[in-house]
Amino acid sequence: MTQAERPENPFAATGVGVQYALGRPYHHPRALARALDLLGATRVGRALDVACGTGMSTTALREIADLAVGVDRSSDMLAVAAHHRAGVLLRSAAETLPFASESFDAVTVCSGVHWFDQPRFFAEARRLLRPSGWIVLYDHYFIGEMVDVPDFPEWARIALDRYPLPPRNPQVGDPRAETPAGFEAVAEEFFADDIDMTQQQFVDYQMSISNFVAAGERGVPRDELRSWLFESTSSFYAAVDIRTVRFLASVLCLRVAAQ
């Protein structure tokens, strides 16, 4: 696939980093704790966090790693991460990582692999990992459910019709369908991750996800997007201050294959 054929990543746009940091919940430690359990590990030495965004995933990785390095292709995202003191940060695409071979014991990616040229990324990850190394891919999906709000799925459908998801990269070499060359599958797990949100928090979250980010990039004023979100969800919060939003978390663990 050529660069021209690859869809643009809306999260690499200017100005997105602040909104992303404001809206995204800090779920990362829960997923990494699950990954360590699946891998039978307690800590890791040198770890690389690819597509680190505003640094939340790198901050969580620092809690379980002796050294955590975050990389992202977006200077806007990295500027926010640096402001929040997320740690060691570098600008880099996932497919061309600027490190020596066998530099890391672990690689993590949170909600980013679907934007990558996956065969090239996994080849880079295999090059960077030591023989005993592993990789964790974890995601956090908004599944269009709000607990005890039966009308919410219809709202989610209308939102997607009005503001469609932007295209991802074709899933050539999707690691959930086919284990990437040079790796062996360890384990995969899915789990519900319910998060309580005020209406303000819910709107901030929606403004940080790809369909609303992409709408802003297409020229829809962000004030207009935010106003629609508040107006269209006001009935859900008419009688309560907080609603429970249902997310699905996934963790996929791979290990460097034995030679």
CATH of the domain at 55: 3.40.50.150
Statement: residue 4 has pLDDT above 50: no
Tokens of 205: 């979250």
Statement: residue 134 has pLDDT above 90: yes
Long-range contacts from 224-228, C-beta under 8 angstroms, 24+ separation:
225/163, 228/162
Q: The domain containing residue 65 runs over which residues?
A: 3-256
Query: How many other C-beta atoms lie within 10 A of the C-beta of residue 166?
Result: 18
pLDDT of amino acid 6: 42
Chain segment 12-51, per-residue pLDDT in tens? 666 778 888 889 999 999 999 999 999 999 999 999 999 9
Q: Of 176, 78, 61, 166, give the one whose Cα is nearest residue 118.
A: 176
pLDDT of amino acid 171: 53
Largest Cα separation within the chain, whole Å, is 61
Query: How many other C-beta atoms lie within 10 A of the C-beta of residue 85?
Result: 9
Total number of domains constituting the chain: 1
Q: For 42, which DSSP code?
A: S
